[in-house]
Amino acid sequence: MKIGFYDSGLGGIKTLKDIIDMGLKEEIYFLADEKNKPYGTKTPEEVKKIAIANVQKLVDLGCEIVVVACNTATSVAIKDLREKYSQIKIIGTEPAVKLAVKEHTNKKILVIATTVTVHGEKLHKLINSLDAEEKIELLATDNLVKLVEDENFANNQKEVNKYIFDFLKPYNLKEYSHIILGCTHFPIVKENIQEIVKDYGIKVIDGNEGIGKNLLNKISEYKKTNVEIKDESKFQIKIINTAPSKAFEKRTNEILQKLPKENILFLENIS
């Protein structure tokens, strides 16, 4: 079956890679909206409009399930997307706050995300519903998205580590039990963050496993209830970028490493 993935860029590629490692083997359309990146510094209205236009493209391609592999787009558009495309399943991405709160430590939880997500009503509602306002601190770091997207990311590790070190500096890390990666770009630097906080026993968590479980369940439910539909699709990742570039292809191949090249296809942009 056809599964759509959508993000402003490389973050969703990492989400996809983690879910492939969990067993995803379908015909995948990945829409990277690099023309409009970064989303985190746009207005919520702009992000919502862009998200609807992009999910429409995946629906037009015949995707039966779409994963909005972007916290920022989920934050402002998931409700509208589910209303508008009620004929398909839409899976969103939200900071794994519940998971951290469930662990009941008496320490604090730091959520790092984009400006739109940090100020969005959705995250504040989630925190209120968990009665966790006192425990949780929010930090917007849009520049980290830029660093992760950089063509020379692999050679810029010193600069990336320094940036992470500097933004964590104002925090007394002894007081924290978890850092939650509330932007899908940040799992790409999860190990960098983990290394920097390793002496404090802080758990760094992202939502990719949760999204993966949700998606794999939805796929098996779909197949059980649609046994009459013959599924002839084979495992392939078809990547569409709204602003194609060699840099994006290089970074995508780095993130999808070890996957056979014949499974990855970079398509022309579609309007």
- Our CB check for ligand DGL shows the closer of 115 and 236 to be 115
Residue of 16, 32, 47, 70 with catalytic role: 70
The residues binding ligand DGL (CB under 6 A) are 7-8, 11, 37-40, 70-72, 114, 117, 145, 183-185
d(CA 127, CA 95): 10
Shortest distance, position 9 Cβ to ligand DGL, whole Å = 6
- Our CB check for ligand DGL shows the closer of 122 and 185 to be 185
d(CA 25, CA 3): 10
Residue of 183, 211, 255, 256 with catalytic role: 183
Which positions ≥6 away from 238 have C-beta within 8 Å? Answer: 27, 28, 29, 30, 265, 267
Hey, what are 147's tokens?
A: 């660093």
- Our CB check for ligand DGL shows the closer of 11 and 173 to be 11
Shortest distance, position 183 Cβ to ligand DGL, whole Å = 4
258: left (phi over 0), alpha (psi -120 to 50) or beta: left
Active site residue 63: no
Shortest distance, position 149 Cβ to ligand DGL, whole Å = 8
Shortest distance, position 221 Cβ to ligand DGL, whole Å = 26
Secondary structure E strands in the chain: 2-7, 27-32, 65-68, 89-91, 108-113, 136-140, 176-181, 203-205, 236-241, 264-266
- Our CB check for ligand DGL shows the closer of 1 and 112 to be 112
Q: Give, in order, the Cα–Cα distances in Å from 202 to each of 166, 185, 189, 198, 239.
A: 17, 20, 15, 7, 35
Q: Are the C-beta atoms of residues 55 and 90 closer than 8 Å to each other?
A: yes
- The catalytic residue positions are 70, 183
